[in-house]
A and B are shown apart, each in its own frame.
Chain A
Amino acid sequence: MAVGLEHYLILSAVLFSIGLYGALAKRNAIIILMCIELMLNAVNIAMVAFSRYIVPLLLTGQVFVIFIMVVAAAEAAVGLAIIISIYRSRETIDATKIDLMKW
Chain B
Amino acid sequence: MNLELFLPELTLAAFAIIVILLDLVIQRKGWLVVVSLAGVVVAAGFTIIMWGGSSQAIFNNMLAVDNFALFFKLLFLAIAALVILASVDYVSKFTRFQGEYHALVLLSALGMMLMAATAELISIYIALELTSISLYVLVGFLKDPKSTEASLKYLLLGAVASAVLLFGMALVFGFTGKTQLGEIAQAIQALSLSGVLASPGLILGIVLMIAGFGFKIAAVPFHMWVPDVYEGAPTPITAYLSVASKAAGFAIILRVFYSAFGLPQWLSLDWGMLFAVLAAIGMTLGNVVAIPQTNIKRMLGYSSIAQAGYLMVGLATVGFSPAADIVGRSSLLFFLASYALTNLGAFTAIIAISNKLDSDLIQDYSGMGKRAPLLALALTLCLISLIGLPPAAGFMAKFYIFSGAVQHGLLWLVVIAVINSVISAYYYLRVVKVMWLGEPASEEKVPSSGALRLALSLSCLGVLLLGIIPGYIMKLAEVAAKMFVF
Chain A residues with a Cβ under 8 A of chain B: 9, 12, 16, 19-20, 23, 29, 32-33, 36, 39-40, 42-43, 46-47, 50-51, 54-55, 60-61, 63-64, 67-68, 71, 74-75, 78-79, 82-83, 85-86, 89-90, 95, 98, 100-103
Contact = CB atoms under 8 A, between A and B. Distances in A.
Interface stretch (B80-88, B152-160, B332-340): B152-160
Interface SS of A by simple majority: helix
Contacts of A40: 163, 166
Interface in B82-135: 121-122, 125-126, 129, 133
Nearest to A79: B155
Contacts, number: 116
Interface SS of B by simple majority: helix
Nearest to B166: A43
B126 A71 contact: yes
A61 B298 CA distance: 41
A81 B453 CA distance: 35
Contacts of B415: none
Given A29-B156, A60-B179, A101 B163 contact: no
Contacts of B228: 101-102
B231 interface: yes
B148 A86 contact: yes
B170 A43 contact: yes
Contacts of B475: none
Contact of B160 (A36, A51, A55, A63): A36
Nearest to A39: B163
Given A67-B122, A75-B129, A82 B227 contact: no
Interface residues of B, number: 41
29 contacts: A12-B170, A16-B163, A29-B156, A33-B156, A36-B160, A39-B160, A42-B167, A43-B167, A47-B173, A50-B174, A60-B173, A63-B122, A67-B122, A67-B126, A71-B126, A74-B129, A75-B129, A75-B159, A78-B133, A78-B137, A78-B155, A83-B152, A90-B145, A100-B145, A100-B146, A101-B150, A101-B227, A101-B298, A103-B298
B406 interface: no
Contacts of B166: 40, 43, 68
Given A29-B156, A82-B151, A101-B150, A64 B163 contact: no
Contacts of A101: 146, 149-150, 227-228, 231-232, 298
Interface in B311-330: none
Contacts of A86: 148-149, 152
A64 B122 contact: yes
B4 interface: no
Contacts of B368: none
Nearest to B180: A60
Nearest to B176: A54
A33 to B, nearest CB: 7
A15 to B, nearest CB: 11
Interface of B: 121-122, 125-126, 129, 133, 136-137, 140, 143-146, 148-153, 155-156, 159-160, 163-164, 166-167, 169-171, 173-174, 177-179, 227-228, 231-232, 289, 298
User: Most chain-A Cβ atoms within 10 A of its Cβ — which of B122, B129, B170?
Assistant: B170
A65 to B, nearest CB: 10
Contacts of A33: 156, 159
A87 B181 CA distance: 43
Contacts of B152: 29, 79, 82-83, 86, 98
B140 A82 contact: yes
Nearest to B159: A36
A79 to B, nearest CB: 5
Contacts of B129: 71, 74-75
Nearest to B144: A89
Given A36-B159, A101-B228, 6 more contacts: A46-B174, A47-B170, A67-B125, A68-B166, A82-B136, A82-B148
Nearest to B151: A82
A89 B156 contact: no
Nearest to B292: A103
Nearest to A64: B122
A64 B124 CA distance: 11
B153 to A, nearest CB: 8
Nearest to A86: B148
Given A20-B160, A75-B129, A78-B155, A103 B227 contact: yes
Contacts of B170: 12, 43, 46-47, 50
A89 B149 CA distance: 10
Contacts of B151: 82, 85
User: Most chain-A Cβ atoms within 10 A of its Cβ — which of B164, B167, B171, B179?
Assistant: B167
Contacts of A16: 163, 167
Nearest to B302: A103
A50 B173 contact: yes
Given A82-B140, A86-B152, A90-B145, A46 B171 contact: yes
User: Most chain-A Cβ atoms within 10 A of its Cβ — which of B160, B164, B166?
Assistant: B166
B134 to A, nearest CB: 9
